[in-house]
Structure 1
Amino acid sequence: MDIQLIDTGFFHADGGAMFGTIPKTAWNRRYPSDDQNGCILAMRSMLVRDGSGKIVLVDNGAGDKHLKQLGYYNFFDLIDLREELQRRGVACEEVTDVILTHLHFDHCGYTTQKEERPDGKPSYRMTFPNATHWVSRAQWENFLHPNALEADSYFIENMQAACDSGKLRLIEGDTDLCPGIDLRLFDGHTPGQIAPYITTPERTYVFAGDVIPLAASVSPLWISAYDTCPVVSYNEKLRMLEEAAAEKQAIIYCHDAYTRCTTVKKVNDFFKADQKVSLFSMG
């Protein structure tokens, strides 16, 4: 099992939004910000090759289709994911599976690419045309009929081509994608977020998505204001963390610009990020 992390780019988010009710005097000791409370966040993707023919991509960043509409986030150092995968020996056409933790713009924007038609109207083609695209049914329904808090985070252009192609696979519960790759559902941040669990002989790696986006937000009480159901988020983080601490699993943080992956430690009723973990082939 070959696992690599890819930072598709970075953006700025308000620290008060990222840490919710936690005061800046507390969170700023764990995560840096500028004088306007802006925190740099990564858009992290994961490439997994299982050695048996599966080439799996987890999330793919914001892409470049909606940068003007999303100018508030001040994106920078965006990469061309097609070129980056080629550098790692993978053509987009070879990707067998794309797992989308959820459908907010910063996780699925590169799923499609814009191209101009002869009549001048925009169209969108799949970036990974041969891949099955895994999304939870709950998240898909929320994407199609979003609540007011999430509506601005969804763009139909990111996913319509995948749906039209018949390559969209909706799951309704925890699902085994293949031996060693399990998809588990977590609510709170958004309905039906997928957290892939990648099991190797050495340990299990958990791509936590926005269940635990930062090493600084490991504590179950540190809930982002972006989470639509904070009490649910608290309980779901506990569920993930209890197993991770007991089984010595490694948590991969999709948005942490400074810490990619750690184990977690439980001391009494308190959880914290513990030892940094290097993956087998970290990009």
Structure 2
Amino acid sequence: MKIETIDTGYFYADGGAMFGAIPKTAWSRRYPSNETNGCVLSMRSLLIITDTGKIILVDNGAGDKHLKQLSYYNFFDLADLGEELRKRGIEPEEVTDVILTHLHFDHCGYSTQINKETGKLTPSFPNATHWVSRKQWENFLHPNALEKDSYFLENMQAVADRSLLQLIDTDTHLCPDVELRIFDGHTPGQIVPYIYSPDYTYVFAGDVIPLVASVSPEWISAYDTFPVTSYNEKIRLLDEACHKGQALIYCHDAYTKCSTVKKVNNFYTKEKILL
């Protein structure tokens, strides 16, 4: 099995939004910001190549279709994920599966592209099964007031129209080495992939735990629509990770990609930096 992170680009998010009720005097010691409280966040994708021939992507960044509408995020150093795959000897048509943790624009925007010849939207990975939870898909189609500005139908409609969408209702295995588990809180039905490699079980924590600074269960983003649920789901994920020595991959941390975690009394913290 091969596992590799690919950063598809970066943007600025307000530190107060990222850390919610935690005061800046506390969060600024763990995560840097600029003079306007802007924190640099990565849009991290994960490439998994299994020994059975699966080529799997987890999330794919914002793409470039809505950058003008989202200009206040000040995107920079955007990478074309298709070109990044080609650098690794993989054509987008060879991707077998795309796991979308959830459908906010910064996680699924590259799922579709505008065809330069026809002007129509087409799937970026035309032969891939796109895994999404049913709860998240329904929330995407009928968003609540707090999330509606984070969803763009153009990011997923062509995928659904081509029958490339696979909805899941419960925890399931994509293949023997990749399990998809459902966590709520940040948004309904977020998928957290568990990748069972010979070295570690890697957990792509998504926006359940987007930054290593967010390992503390009480450090909950203001973007989370159900913060008490987020707290309980973080505890569920962290307790298993500590007990089993799992490695967490942080989708938005611009400085730390992956680490194991440990629990000291009632306090959780990073342990060994990986990847």
Distance in 2 of aligned mates of 1:274 and 1:139: 32
Match among 167, 171, 187 for residue 170 of structure 1: 167
1:222 aligned onto 2:248: no
1:137 aligned onto 2:171: no
Aligned to 2:41: 41
1:19 aligned onto 2:16: no
Aligned to 2:205: 208
Report the residue type matching 1:10 in the other structure: Y
Q: Residue by residue, what CA displacement relative to the aligned partner does 1:30-68 show, whole Å, maximum 9, x if unpaired?
A: 000001000000000000000211000000000000000
Q: Residue by residue, what CA displacement relative to the aligned partner does 1:106-163 show, whole Å, maximum 9, x if unpaired?
A: 0000000012566xxx420000000000000000000000000000000000000110
Taking the TM superposition and a 5 Å limit, the aligned residue runs for 1:1-283 are 1-116=1-116, 122-278=119-275
3-state SS of the aligned residue for 1:205? strand
Distance in 1 of aligned mates of 2:231 and 2:221: 10
Deviates more, 1:264-273 or 1:133-142: 264-273
User: Gapped runs of 5+ residues in structure 1?
Assistant: 279-283
Distance in 2 of aligned mates of 1:227 and 1:205: 23
Distance in 2 of aligned mates of 1:32 and 1:206: 25
3-state SS of the aligned residue for 2:220? coil
3-state SS of the aligned residue for 1:77? coil
Distance in 1 of aligned mates of 2:95 and 2:80: 16
User: Gapped runs of 5+ residues in structure 2?
Assistant: none
3-state SS of the aligned residue for 1:226? coil
3-state SS of the aligned residue for 1:239? helix
3-state SS of the aligned residue for 1:162? helix
Distance in 2 of aligned mates of 1:274 and 1:156: 39
Aligned-pair identity in percent equals 70
TM-score by length of 1: 0.96
Report the residue type matching 1:66 in the other structure: H
Q: Residue by residue, what CA displacement relative to the aligned partner does 1:1-54 show, whole Å, maximum 9, x if unpaired?
A: 100000000000000000000000000000000010000000000000002110
Report deviation, 1:178.
0.2
Report the residue type matching 1:143 in the other structure: F
3-state SS of the aligned residue for 2:218? coil
Over the residues paired in the alignment, what is the CA RMSD in angstroms?
Answer: 0.8
Report deviation, 1:200.
1.1
Aligned length: 275
Distance in 2 of aligned mates of 1:116 and 1:5: 28
Report deviation, 1:181.
0.2
Distance in 1 of aligned mates of 2:271 and 2:207: 19
Aligned to 1:281: none
Distance in 2 of aligned mates of 1:30 and 1:116: 43
